[in-house]
């Protein structure tokens, strides 16, 4: 995360959405921002898997920086990131509640 994410930012900006379009040998166009978002989602999934193995419960905070609420409300990438986080939280909380409900009292 600390190595690849900064490399994908264009022009040294801190905004991963400020990427640029690239074209591969076959003429397919892709956005560096798309790759950055995919990497962030993968990192979230890996963290989630590690938490399941370790038995910890942590809700990951989204890495979205909101300076202007009105602009963020109309930015589809910000909305998608926040919705993704809420979906992950909901799934994680549901799993924990189901696990706790399935436990039998001891003693």
pTM over 0.85: no
Residue that has been written with the tokens 């986080």 in this structure: 85
**pLDDT value, residue 55:** 66
Q: Calculate mean pLDDT across residues 4-13.
A: 53
**pLDDT value, residue 16:** 45
1-5, 31-35, 60-64, 71-75: which has the minimum mean pLDDT?
A: 1-5
Whether 17 has a pLDDT exceeding 70, the answer reads: no
DSSP bridge partners of 22: 30
Taking only the tens place, the pLDDT of each residue in 39-98 is: 888 888 887 777 666 666 778 888 888 899 999 999 998 999 999 999 999 998 898 888
Task: Say how far apart CA 107 and CA 94 lie, in whole Å.
Answer: 26
Query: Taking Cα atoms as reference points, which of 54, 53, 46, 60 lies closest to residue 92?
Result: 60
Whether 29 has a pLDDT exceeding 70, the answer reads: no
Residue 29, SS3 per DSSP:
strand
């Amino acid at each position: 995360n600390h190595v690849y994410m900064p490399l994908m930012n264009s022009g040294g900006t801190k905004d991963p959405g400020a990427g640029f379009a690239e074209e591969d040998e076959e003429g397919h166009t892709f956005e560096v921002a798309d790759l950055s978002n995919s990497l962030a989602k993968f990192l979230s999934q890996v963290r989630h898997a590690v938490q399941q193995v370790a038995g910890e419960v942590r809700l990951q905070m989204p890495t979205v920086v909101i300076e202007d609420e009105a602009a963020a409300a109309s930015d589809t990438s910000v909305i998608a990131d926040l919705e993704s986080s809420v979906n992950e939280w909901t799934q994680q909380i549901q799993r924990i509640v189901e696990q706790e409900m399935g436990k039998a009292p001891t003693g």
